[in-house]
Structure formats: C-alpha cells, structure tokens
C-alpha cells in the first residue's frame, strides 16, 4: 500500500520521545503519522497492559496518546524495516503490518523523519545464559508491565545499572520471591548508591525501602556468572567480584528465573541506513549525533530519546518536544511560540545525568573470564567462545572479520544481542550497525515495496 499523502512528519517509535515529538508537531497543525511495532504505545517505560495499572506518570502519558490519536495517524503493530531519502529530500518509510488477511507492506512518504526507536537491554554472555528462564531485565519487566505476568517465582536479578532496582522491586511487589540483586559494579552498597549522587535520592530511597520491605538482599560487586539446569534454569552460580569483575569466590543459588542486564543498546539502525553521523558514548554504545535542535547530520531527519544517548524516559520526552518544536520551525516558522529555554535547561540536566550514569556503571573486562570454551556467544547462530577464539587465531583481528569467519551476529537478531560482547572479545569499540533491513521482512513484502525505478537511487547503507 502506497499512500499519495505526503506527511509533514513521520515518527518511528511510540515511547515518550516519539509521542512528545509527534504531539508537539500535530498541535501546531502539521500532518503527522507515528508508527510503532507494539500493540499499544508506551515504548518500554510506559509499556502497559490492555487494562493499564496505575503507575506514576502513566496517566499523563496516556492523555498525550489520546490527544495524539485525535490529531495524527497512529499506526500500531507496524514494523519499520527501512527508511530512505528521495532525490527531492522526502523520506520514504517502509513498514509491514499483519492483519486478518495476512502480512502486508505499508509505504509512507514524509517531508521529515523523527527517529525515536528507543533502546534494548545489553546482555553479556555467561555459561547457561541461553537456558529458558534466563531473561533480560527488560524482558522480565515487559512481561510484568505488558501482560501482568511474573517472569518466575524465585528470581535472581543481576547485571549493572540502576535499572536493576525497579525490575527487582517490581517483581517483588507483584509477588515474586527475589533472592537477590547482584550488582556487578558499585562497591559502595545501596546506602551510597551512585543514583544518590545523581540527585535521585528520593527514588533511591524508595527502591531501598522496597528491597528491605520484601527482604531482598542487594549485593554490590557480585554477579550471576553461570546458570545451570537441563531444560530450564534451576540454579545459578553467584560470584563475588573484584573491581575488574574477575571472580573471587562463588556460591550456588537455587532459582527458577534470572533477570540480567548490563546497560542498554540504543536502536539507531534507521539513522545509519540514512547515513546519519554517529558518536561513541563513554560506555561503548554508539548513538546518533544530534545538534541543539535534535537534528541529525542528514537534512530532514531528527532523533530523540535513547538513540541519541541513554538517559531515561524524562529526558526522552524533553528531547522529543525539542525535536517537535524544531520540526514545526522547519515546516511553519510562524507557528512556533515561546522559547525552548526551559526545555534546553532540562535537557542539559538530563544529559549530565546520562553521562554520570555511564561513569558510575562501566562494564569491566573481567566478565570475559566467566565464559568457557563451549559458552555460546551468539545465541542465534549458536557460536561458542571457542569458535570466536579460533577465528582470531586464523587472523581475524577485528569484530567484523570474527563475524565473517565464525558467524556471530549473522542470525535472526543481526547481532543486536551479541554485538557488544563480540566487539569486546575482539578488543575493539562497537561499530555502528550496518543493517539495510532493520526488521526481518518477507520477500513478498520486499518485492511489493520496491518502486518501479528501484535501484536507481543511492542506497546510503552501502
């Protein structure tokens, strides 16, 4: 389906950044459409069940969603797999959706694009991490928020970063027995948690109180370094770590579920498809470079939220509004009212928070010592560490050659899950993703989406 309508703005991603950007533009009278892969808007933070539970901030977000729905075309369950820029500067967005009649392609054209695609968990491999019952921290959270389902009964939470705290308290509050929060970093304990130093004292105190109330032990400088079980996880090895995350001592904890996360991977492939400039964050993630108005290096393309640097939902919303105002200024300069001053100051504070997070929760190299020869590094292609090392002995000196020789990152997820680990194992910083097709798509949808003159345009992904 190709629509004749050319939108003033197309927004990809319906979390706080995308909704704020789309609503800002729609309120100024622009013709806006927003696409999201989920059944309901919200992204990860405002993910909610069909009948939403009461959560701080969710009511306000859902009001924004209702306002947006009255003023813009909101397309849920739409997966965007490619964006390209036309010779006249317009952006073509290729998506697919599934309805009663089957999968069908959707092609949209717009003058401007806002990339608000969020981020996903960054896992690290360890022996047994592919056993059912081992989930990402975000996965456990998504089950709870999106479906009111407990990931398990006896749960261990492990990884690094402040996100472990809401995951653990959320699970405990919903009735799971949380056997421990094992924070690989932060040798200081919860009483001197880095969040405190970041001006989040009330939030930290709330989590701390909830952990105490549910008798959840919080153990800094500890991590799950192996999961054990036949068909599902039945126990984990928890290790006490030194400052570089080398194992000092271990113990076994019986459990049925593990929730792990070592930070986040911003989803930037739509930007790299268009040739947007990227930059490296201190924690090794690659993000889209944006200017003061959230504009990327490619004309007509804005980005907001985690794809420009992980700093949480409040920052994402601020960036979305700034981007929305900049889009309005670009389309209808006379429609812009007021100044961005307050928003810009809030964004500066948010950025400082994000930078401080990266400083406070670095991933240390000792995790590589948790792996055994037969530990899968890539879950999709089932590539064990031994094959990665073999590729390196054959002369693969960088992540790309390791991938070509041993195939980690060449399966269904396209390296989203193992990419960071493979880069670390290859001893280099992660490179920007090169994914001309951002979501798996059927050949039928591909051929239907191809315009008659396909192939005559420059493809910035190559």
Residues that bind another protein (CB under 8 A): 37-40, 44, 49-51, 98, 120-121, 123, 130-136, 138-143, 146-151, 231-232, 379-380, 382, 411-413, 416-417, 440
Cβ 328 to another protein, closest distance in Å? Answer: 31
Residues 241-280 as b/e (b if ≥16 CB within 10 A, e otherwise) read beeebebeeeeeeebbbbbbbbbbbbbbbbbbbbebebee
- Distance (Å, rounded) from C-alpha 83 to C-alpha 95? 9
- Read off φ and ψ for residue 277, nearest 5 degrees: -65, 150
The runs of H, that is alpha helices, within 308-461 are 313-331, 341-360, 385-393, 399-406, 419-426, 443-449
The nearer residue to another protein, 7 or 367, going by C-beta atoms, is 367
Cβ 145 to another protein, closest distance in Å? Answer: 10
Kind of pairing between the strands at 376-378 and 383-384: antiparallel
Cβ 299 to another protein, closest distance in Å? Answer: 30
Using left for φ > 0, alpha for ψ between -120 and 50, and beta otherwise, residue 120 falls in: beta
8 A C-beta contact, residue 228 and residue 255: no
The nearer residue to another protein, 335 or 413, going by C-beta atoms, is 413
Measured between alpha carbons, how far is residue 53 from residues 36, 43, 49, 57 in Å?
A: 21, 16, 7, 11
The nearer residue to another protein, 23 or 167, going by C-beta atoms, is 167
Cβ 39 to another protein, closest distance in Å? Answer: 5
Cβ 198 to another protein, closest distance in Å? Answer: 26
The nearer residue to another protein, 24 or 285, going by C-beta atoms, is 285
Closest CA to 363 of 188, 245, 281: 245
The nearer residue to another protein, 121 or 281, going by C-beta atoms, is 121
Beta strand ranges found along 137-262 (DSSP E):
154-160, 177-183, 218-220, 222-228, 235-241, 247-254, 257-262
Cβ 417 to another protein, closest distance in Å? Answer: 5
Cβ 7 to another protein, closest distance in Å? Answer: 25
The nearer residue to another protein, 38 or 220, going by C-beta atoms, is 38
Instruction: Pull the structure tokens for residue 197.
Output: 């130093």
Q: What number of residues does the chain have? A: 462
Measured between alpha carbons, how far is residue 382 from residues 260, 329, 411, 437 in Å?
A: 20, 49, 9, 22
Cβ 435 to another protein, closest distance in Å? Answer: 12
Cβ 234 to another protein, closest distance in Å? Answer: 12
8 A C-beta contact, residue 154 and residue 177: yes
């Amino acid at each position: 389906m190709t629509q004749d309508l050319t939108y003033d703005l197309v927004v990809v991603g319906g979390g706080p950044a995308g909704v704020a950007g789309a609503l800002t533009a729609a309120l100024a009278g622009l013709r806006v459409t927003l696409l999201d892969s989920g059944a309901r808007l919200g992204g990860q933070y405002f993910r909610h069940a069909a009948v939403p539970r009461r959560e701080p901030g969710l009511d306000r977000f859902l009001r924004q969603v209702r306002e947006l729905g009255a003023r813009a075309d909101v397309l849920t369950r739409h997966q965007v797999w490619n964006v390209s820029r036309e010779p006249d500067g317009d952006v073509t967005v290729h998506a697919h959706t599934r309805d009663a009649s089957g999968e069908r392609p959707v092609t949209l054209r717009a003058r401007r694009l806002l990339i608000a695609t969020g981020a996903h968990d960054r896992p690290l491999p360890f022996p047994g991490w592919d056993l059912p019952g081992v989930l990402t921290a975000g996965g456990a959270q998504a089950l709870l928020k999106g479906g009111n389902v407990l990931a398990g009964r006896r749960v261990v939470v492990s990884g690094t970063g402040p996100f472990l705290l809401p995951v653990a308290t959320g699970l405990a509050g919903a009735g799971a027995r949380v056997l421990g929060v094992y924070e690989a970093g932060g040798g200081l304990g919860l009483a001197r948690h880095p969040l405190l130093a970041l001006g989040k004292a009330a939030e930290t105190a709330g989590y701390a109180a909830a952990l105490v109330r549910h008798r959840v032990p919080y153990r800094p400088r500890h991590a799950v370094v192996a999961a054990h079980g036949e068909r599902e996880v039945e126990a984990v090895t928890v290790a006490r770590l030194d400052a570089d995350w080398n194992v000092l001592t271990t113990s076994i904890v019986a459990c049925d579920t593990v929730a792990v996360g070592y930070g986040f991977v911003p989803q930037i492939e739509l930007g790299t498809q268009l040739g947007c400039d990227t930059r490296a964050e201190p924690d090794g993630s690659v993000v889209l470079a944006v200017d003061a108005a959230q504009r990327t290096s490619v004309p007509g393309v804005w980005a907001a939220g985690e794809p420009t640097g992980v700093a949480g939902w409040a920052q994402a919303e601020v960036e979305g509004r700034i981007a929305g105002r900049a889009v309005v200024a670009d389309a209808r300069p006379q429609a812009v009212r007021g100044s961005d001053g307050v928003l810009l100051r809030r964004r500066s504070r948010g950025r400082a928070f994000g930078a401080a997070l990266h400083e406070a929760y670095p991933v240390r190299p000792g995790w590589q010592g948790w792996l055994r020869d037969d530990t899968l590094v890539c879950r999709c292609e089932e590539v064990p560490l031994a094959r990665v090392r073999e590729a390196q002995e054959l002369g693969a000196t960088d992540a790309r050659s390791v991938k070509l020789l041993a195939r980690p990152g060449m399966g269904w997820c396209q390296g989203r899950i193992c990419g960071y680990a493979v880069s670390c194992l290859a001893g280099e910083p992660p490179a920007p993703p090169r994914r001309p097709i951002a979501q798996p798509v059927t050949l039928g949808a591909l051929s239907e989406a191809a315009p008659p003159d396909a192939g005559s345009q420059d493809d910035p992904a190559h």
